A and B are shown apart, each in its own frame.
Chain A
Amino acid sequence: MDKQYIIRGVQRSSFRKFIAWMIPWAGLLIFGVYAIYLCLAKGLNQTNMDNRFAFGVWIFLDLTVIALGAGAFFTGFLLYILKKKELHAVINSAVVIGFICYSGAVGVLMVDVGQPLRAWFTFWHPNVHSMLTEVTFCITCYLTVLAIEYVPVILKNRKLREIPSMLVFEHELHKLVFVLAAVGTFLSFFHQGSLGGLYGVLRGRPFAFREGIAIWPSTFFLFILSAAAVGPSFILLTTWLVSKISKKRLVKKNVLMLLGKISGALLIVYVLLKTIDTLVWINSTSPAVGFPAYEFYSRKPFGTWILFTEIVVFGLLPALVLLSGRMRAHVGLLVTAAAFACTGVALNRFVMTIQTLALPTLPFDPFLSYMPSWQEVGAFLAVIAYGVLVYSLSFRYLVLFPQERELSNG
């Protein structure tokens, strides 16, 4: 039915099967949009957040998808600036994933602000000394970059490229994509850093507060490094997942192995620096403000196990696997390590958001617990459903994996 819109030489499921796949996700999106509507129409009382627990599942989601979406900027940087040609095989998919992650994050932030009609205030009256202002500016700018990078991918559609003006615009824009890659790298560097920095500067939250260099706390650099490390892992993981779901070979194995190797090299540096940072924090930063670090881990469920799990199980372990050529050659281990690395960064963002806010900071403060309301979960799920829908449509009608045709023809 829609064969004339699908690129030549690749096999896609029947239109009916595709619609059957899309319907449940569309249903989930509708449910999420209703939850978002309630939050916007009735206010943030629809959530379980309050003035003390102001960051919840939405901020956790934002931080996680922005970290995972770093695969877009980092792959672009490696391909267009450092000329790692092998990554041409996944760059289109990385752009789509980046676009989904950032547009999803911006969408949820609009709900989180609670007054989306006044969102422009942050641009019109910026507090230039705020990390959050930098994040807002960089994320919106980078989303614009990703949207522009998405345009040539869309214009490569079989039907669209029959229109001469679309064809030449795609050609000319693609020639300038290295500029976009450079701008994206610049923006990502700062907003990934500022997302970490905004926790590191919280003097009133000794669990998160860190010393650093000049105005940048150590978390600024750790967030950049962790995002760059797991970005390629997330691209690897999604490529493998799409390959399994579609039952197609999408890229050559060496591409997956290269992504794993890059991820592993950055991850081991991150784990090393994170370990040093944690030791400095335990022995110096935290005691200096009157909090022995062990106290932070005395309230269940946030025991020391969480620190061990984050740094060793989801940090050191996958880094070692990804760095070993022999283990990388085993697809099962490669994918598991990539999944562990992604889980590690998600756990880090969870700890920085939820654990930071749950812990008391004054003698009369209680230990807070927080469970998201169904409206919060609904908005969270809407982003997931939106991502699956956009990616599925892109996979069906666009060229996300240029090697697929060659691989499917043996």
Chain B
Amino acid sequence: MFPWVYGFTWDAGSIVFLGAFFTVLAVLVATLMKATLRAVNDVKLERTECIRWKSDFHDLPAAAKKCRHEFTGEFAHRTCDNNFDCRDCATHAKLMSEHPLVVPENAEDVVYGFTMPLDRMYHRGHTWVRREEDGSFTIGLDDFASRLIGVPEQIELPPAGTRLRVNGTAWNVKKQGAAVRILSPVEGEVIEAGDPQRGWFLRVKPLEEKPNLRNLLRGAEIRPWMLREMERFQGLLATEGAGIALADGGVPVNDFSKAYPRADWDTVMGEMLLEP
């Protein structure tokens, strides 16, 4: 194998064969080293949350990855290929400049019995964001997610000073043994933690004076988005065998999983809150 090992000869066969072998070994070692170094770098630069979201988004079913402009009828079919980050999406920027959203007249909209106040913006993972007078953001769960989670067994809120990233983990909840993370709609530093009784969960100080919030849904987009979400929800419940659901009439209960304990809420919550 090596020149100093018994039996080695400097002939063409040895050079070609062992040359190919050592090249393959070198490629394998280099590949592993590169992956390891990149991974170490990712951890150092705190890219873990971004990678987790990319991986989760990739694994989401096609129905959960619809472009927001499909809801408003601007596209017949369009799947988001930008990880729900419209801040970098050229198509979104172009469409918004061509057709600015109509400012709603009502203070709130009620979709299938879910109250959606229109003074705030919504994230696709069912959180809302409201800008306060002091420039901070208040983050909470929308009416649908509140009823989906109901009374959780455990809530893990981040302590003050934690840095949140768009589509990264904002906080974690546990319900019926299923752990699910709630996605952060904005980037910023946590300044205060709330709780369900206060109607909000986090107060966040943005990192920039004028943060880019183009990734969030607002105004006239809310209703069509919620209608699609209900379709997805009913589809999941039908699969999970929950029995009679919204499509059969009635109004939403306060705690879905308590009302239908037999359904696989781990799967339903994971899909609806975008953690497949």
| A contacts with B: majority SS | helix
Is B100 positioned at the interface, with any CB of A under 8 Å from its CB? no
Q: Are A172 and B39 in contact (CB under 8 A)?
A: yes
Q: Which of A359-385 contact B (CB under 8 A)?
A: none
A172 CB contact (under 8 Å) in B28, B35, B276: B35
Is B95 positioned at the interface, with any CB of A under 8 Å from its CB? no
Q: Are B39 and A179 in contact (CB under 8 A)?
A: no
A2 to chain B, nearest CB (A): 12
The answer to whether A172 and B6 touch (CB under 8 A), given A123-B1, A405-B276, is: no
- Which of B115-123, B124-132, B265-273 is the interface stretch? B265-273
Is A408 positioned at the interface, with any CB of B under 8 Å from its CB? yes
Q: Which residue of B lies closest to A405 (CB)?
A: B61
List chain A residues, Cβ under 8 A from B165: none
| Interface flags, B1-32, vs A, CB<8A=1, else 0 | 10001110000011001100100110110011
List chain B residues, Cβ under 8 A from A172: 34-36, 38-39, 42
Q: Are B34 and A128 in contact (CB under 8 A)?
A: no
Q: Are A179 and B27 in contact (CB under 8 A)?
A: yes
Q: Are A171 and B51 in contact (CB under 8 A)?
A: yes
Is B194 positioned at the interface, with any CB of A under 8 Å from its CB? no
Is B207 positioned at the interface, with any CB of A under 8 Å from its CB? no
Q: Are B1 and A164 in contact (CB under 8 A)?
A: no
Q: Which of B92-148 contact A (CB under 8 A)?
A: none
Is A5 positioned at the interface, with any CB of B under 8 Å from its CB? no
Q: Which residue of A lies closest to B47 (CB)?
A: A168
Q: Which of B39-89 contact A (CB under 8 A)?
A: 39, 42-43, 47-48, 51-52, 54-55, 59, 61-62
Q: Are B39 and A165 in contact (CB under 8 A)?
A: yes
**A-B contact number at CB 8 A:** 104
A217→B272 CA distance, assembly (Å):
59
Is A247 positioned at the interface, with any CB of B under 8 Å from its CB? no
List chain B residues, Cβ under 8 A from A179: 27, 31
Which interface residue of B6, B59, B62 has the most chain A CB atoms within 10 A?
Answer: B59
List chain A residues, Cβ under 8 A from B17: 126, 128, 133-134, 137
B31 CB contact (under 8 Å) in A133, A176, A187: A176
List chain B residues, Cβ under 8 A from A180: 28, 31
A167→B6 CA distance, assembly (Å):
45
Is A186 positioned at the interface, with any CB of B under 8 Å from its CB? yes
A-side interface residues, number (CB < 8 Å) = 41
A126→B61 CA distance, assembly (Å):
51
Q: Are B31 and A148 in contact (CB under 8 A)?
A: yes
Q: Are B266 and A3 in contact (CB under 8 A)?
A: yes
Is B190 positioned at the interface, with any CB of A under 8 Å from its CB? no
Q: Are B28 and A144 in contact (CB under 8 A)?
A: yes
Q: Which of A193-221 contact B (CB under 8 A)?
A: none
List chain A residues, Cβ under 8 A from B159: none
Is A294 positioned at the interface, with any CB of B under 8 Å from its CB? no
Q: Which residue of B lies closest to A180 (CB)?
A: B31
Q: Are A137 and B276 in contact (CB under 8 A)?
A: no
B51 CB contact (under 8 Å) in A8, A9, A148, A167: A167
Sample of 9 A–B contacts (CB below 8 Å): A8-B267, A8-B271, A9-B267, A141-B25, A145-B28, A168-B47, A169-B36, A399-B59, A410-B239
What residues make up the interface of A, taking CB atoms closer than 8 Å to B?
Answer: 3-4, 8-9, 123-126, 128-129, 133-134, 137, 141, 144-145, 148, 161, 164-165, 167-173, 175-176, 179-180, 183, 186-187, 399, 402, 405-406, 408-410
What residues make up the interface of B, taking CB atoms closer than 8 Å to A?
Answer: 1, 5-7, 13-14, 17-18, 21, 24-25, 27-28, 31-32, 34-36, 38-39, 42-43, 47-48, 51-52, 54-55, 59, 61-62, 177, 235-236, 238-239, 266-267, 270-271, 275-276
